[in-house]
Amino acid sequence: MPVRQNISVSHLRRALRIYWQHAWPPGTPACPALPQWHGLRLSQVLQTFVDESGPCPRHVLRLGNFTYPHMKFAVERGLSGGDFYFIADCHDAAPCRGAAPDPRWESMRLQNRAIKDAIETGWQQAGLPTLRGFAHDAARCARRVKLTGQRILLVDDEPANLEFTGAILRGDGFTVDTSCDGSGALARASIAPPDLVVSDYEMPGLSGRDVAHQLKARQETQDVPVLICSYADLNMKDLKPADAVLRRPFSAETLKAAVARLIATQTQP
């Protein structure tokens, strides 16, 4: 039985044109050539992308922008289940952690964020599916449930991830606090230690691993489990002293299972 798709090849072409408009505006160096997809079905088109699928499908084209060659045009199907959405991904190829802050990288990061926001805003205005749109819908439709009494701190510099992941966890009865960076998360945790920290890996300033190190070094938070989420193919050896890693994109069920397991270990006598 064919799987219903919420996007078509026409949607991909429209999304790519909007990406090009903002990533390669007039007067900048020449952009890469548009892919030739004439006569291909969606499944065939996605086979021409790089497959970065983990637990859920993710297909990418590394198209770059006029100052940064590693930016990606991504088509994902993750948290929401059956529907695809588009993402402008500019988080890879960051400098190694532990090195001195590089002002040039920080300037490029801010520019990449501005380009990403412009692309994804353009997609939303064109009626194309984005993670940001799915996150807003999930938060708006979140059902009221009985609270568990347990509190989760979400840490991510991507507002859509905070909104979407938070909606799923609130739907399971958790109280959810959020922070858009590692420093803010550490400040919140020191005031009121949560039952679990769910953190993005690659963030400006402190990384998810940095957050885990500092939490484990403090007496009041050393027993708080830390779950790190990342598109990168990382293992626990890379992320110690975090307690678990979850590969993006992940399903709601995978997220819930990982959270339930870590909460259970934290509450065991």
Is 2 inside any structural domain?
A: no
Task: Determine the pLDDT at residue 9.
Answer: 92
Is there a single domain that holds both residue 217 and residue 156? yes
Element (H, E) at 61: strand 58-62
pLDDT for 32 beyond 80: no
Find, among 74, 45, 70, the residue nearest to 59 by Cα: 74
Task: Determine the pLDDT at residue 228.
Answer: 95
Is there a single domain that holds both residue 143 and residue 262? yes
Confidence of residue 149 (pLDDT cuts 50, 70, 90): confident
Domain boundary among 110, 129, 148: 129
Is there a single domain that holds both residue 262 and residue 225? yes
Percent of the chain with pLDDT over 90: 54
The position carrying tokens 């994804």 is 120
More confident residue, 194 or 101: 194
The one-letter amino acid code at 203 reads: M
Task: Determine the pLDDT at residue 220.
Answer: 93
CB 143 within 8 A of CB 115: no
Is there a single domain that holds both residue 180 and residue 262? yes
Is 213 inside any structural domain?
A: yes
CATH number of the domain within which 239 lies: 3.40.50.2300
Domain boundary among 100, 129, 158: 129
Whole-angstrom distance, CA of residue 73 vs CA of residue 86: 7
Segment 226-248, tens digit of pLDDT: 999 988 877 777 788 999 999 88
pLDDT for 68 beyond 60: yes
- Partnered with residue 73 across adjacent β-strands are 61, 88
More confident residue, 212 or 135: 212
**Please, which residues have CB within 8 angstroms of residue 172's CB and are 6 or more apart in sequence?**
145, 148, 256, 259
More confident residue, 257 or 232: 257
Is there a single domain that holds both residue 200 and residue 260? yes
Confidence of residue 46 (pLDDT cuts 50, 70, 90): very high
44-58, 86-100, 158-172, 241-255: range with lowest mean pLDDT: 86-100
Task: Determine the pLDDT at residue 199.
Answer: 96
Find, among 159, 99, 170, 115, the residue nearest to 133 by Cα: 159
Is there a single domain that holds both residue 18 and residue 39? yes
The position carrying tokens 């190829």 is 93
pLDDT for 98 beyond 80: no
Whole-angstrom distance, CA of residue 73 vs CA of residue 49: 10
CB 65 within 8 A of CB 53: no
Q: Give the residue numbers spanning the domain of 257.
A: 136-267
Domain boundary among 82, 100, 129: 129
Q: Which of 24-28, 81-85, 148-152, 259-263 has the highest mean pLDDT?
A: 259-263
Is there a single domain that holds both residue 72 and residue 141? no
Total domain count, the chain: 2
Is there a single domain that holds both residue 159 and residue 123? no
Is there a single domain that holds both residue 125 and residue 190? no
Is there a single domain that holds both residue 119 and residue 140? no
Task: Determine the pLDDT at residue 3.
Answer: 47
